[in-house]
Amino acid sequence: MTYISSIEASWQDSEVICALADTDRHLGHLIKLEHWYAYDATRADETSRSFKCLGAFDDLASAKQMLELAVWPVGDSRVALVN
């Protein structure tokens, strides 16, 4: 499953970094170190100096799902669940 929005957004993937963006803005990214780290570019961290870190994930699919849920929360009328 993945969450998509009526807003045109897409993933750009490589082996170590993935970025989610729509036509107007960078929404977030994933970085592969020992795990996949997810960052929400629509929110600042506690210091207001960086993107909000959503955590570390063992697999890419889980990291993508977390970022998509952070950007488009469940119940957002613009979001559709697809398999």
DSSP assignment of 23-54:
SS-EEEEEEESSSEEEEEEEEE-TTSSSEEEE
Answer yes or no: are the C-beta atoms of 83 and 16 closer than 8 Å: no
Q: Which residues pair with 70 in a beta bridge?
A: none
pLDDT at 74: 62
How do the domains of the chain map onto residue ranges? 2-82
Please state, in angstroms and rounded to a whole number, the distance separating the CA atoms of residues 49 and 62.
26
DSSP 14: -
Structure tokens at 20: 């989610």
> What is the pLDDT, as a whole number, of residue 9?
79
pTM assigned to the model: 0.78
Q: What are 15-72's pLDDT values in tens digits?
A: 999 999 888 889 999 999 999 999 999 888 888 898 999 999 999 999 999 998 888 7
pLDDT for position 83: 33
